[in-house]
């Protein structure tokens, strides 16, 4: 089971790789110049994960998120 959790990031930014995701992936492309396929696979995996149904938490306390996840998993 895959359950994407988008904490302090908009799922559409991940899906379309824009905003901070675009910048970060561009930095990784530069860092892994010798293995551009690695970053391409990351891009594809991120887009695929962002297309799954998941939770979007735009902000707040991380402990609340962890507690909510634990409750959903164990009860």
| Digit-coded pLDDT (tens) for 8-49 | 999 999 999 999 889 999 999 999 999 989 999 999 999 999
Total domains present in the chain: 1
Q: Please give the pLDDT value at position 3.
A: 86
- In this prediction, residues 52-67 reach a mean pLDDT of 90
- C-beta of residue 56 within 8 angstroms of C-beta of residue 8: no
- In this prediction, residues 62-68 reach a mean pLDDT of 92
Query: Does the pLDDT at position 60 exceed 90?
Result: no
Whole domain around residue 43: which residue ranges?
5-74
């Amino acid at each position: 089971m895959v359950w994407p959790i988008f904490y302090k990031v908009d799922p559409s930014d991940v899906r379309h790789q824009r905003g901070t995701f675009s910048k970060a992936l561009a930095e990784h492309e530069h860092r892994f110049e010798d293995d551009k396929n690695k970053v391409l696979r990351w891009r594809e995996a991120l887009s695929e994960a962002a297309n799954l149904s998941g939770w979007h938490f735009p902000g707040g306390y991380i402990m609340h998120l962890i507690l909510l996840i634990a409750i959903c998993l164990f009860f």
